Amino acid sequence: MARLRSMTVSAAVAAVVLLFALGIPLFNKAVNPSRDISGQLFELGSVSFIAPHGALLRPGQFRPEAGQIELTVGTADVVISTAGPYDYSADYLASQLERLMEARPSVRMTEERACVAANGLAGEGSNFVTENGTGFVCAFVADRVRSEVTVSAVTLDNQTAQRIDQLLSTLTVKGGL
């Protein structure tokens, strides 16, 4: 009798654990708290950009005081980080970003990527591949402010890449530090 009760309690505990382990992630997927930010202007210190069509922002992922925002554009996750003062070139910043990316397991940098922001500001960038995806990094430096854009996705379709290029074309630096 005691053994049956013990097994019943164990089965109930296992069921509750299984419910939480499977149920909570499924619930989180079903209730997506992201909000559409298409066309909105965002400022990260002296750097600003306009979110492209279909861009989504999850709660808590816009931290202007830290110079960082994380959003979803189409099938890709986009992270924009800014900081200053910065006294090096975009080429140097891109090489540092590449080195940090390559330090991650399973990341392999591939070819260079053209990166252009608003007003013709040329940046430096590279594409990368991972075990389960692809992406690219772009580095911009203007008026002693650095801007890093990291894009990652399982697959990066043309429409998503065009939307991200649209975002980059609105990225501006509004004066030095």
Domain ranges of the chain: 1-31, 35-173
Better pLDDT: 152 or 9: 152
Q: Which residue has the higher pLDDT, 117 or 4?
A: 117
State the Rg of the chain over Cα. Answer: 21
Reported pTM? 0.79
- Is the predicted pLDDT of residue 174 greater than 90, yes or no? no
What would the pLDDT profile of 113-157 be if each residue is shown by its tens digit?
999 999 999 999 999 999 999 999 999 999 999 999 999 999 999
Show the DSSP H helices in the chain as ranges: 2-30, 90-102, 158-169
Over pLDDT 90: what percentage of the chain? 72
Fold classification of 35-173 is Protein Transport Mog1p; Chain A (3.40.1000)
| Burial class of residue 78 (count of CB atoms within 10 Å of its CB; 0-12, 13-18, 19+) | buried
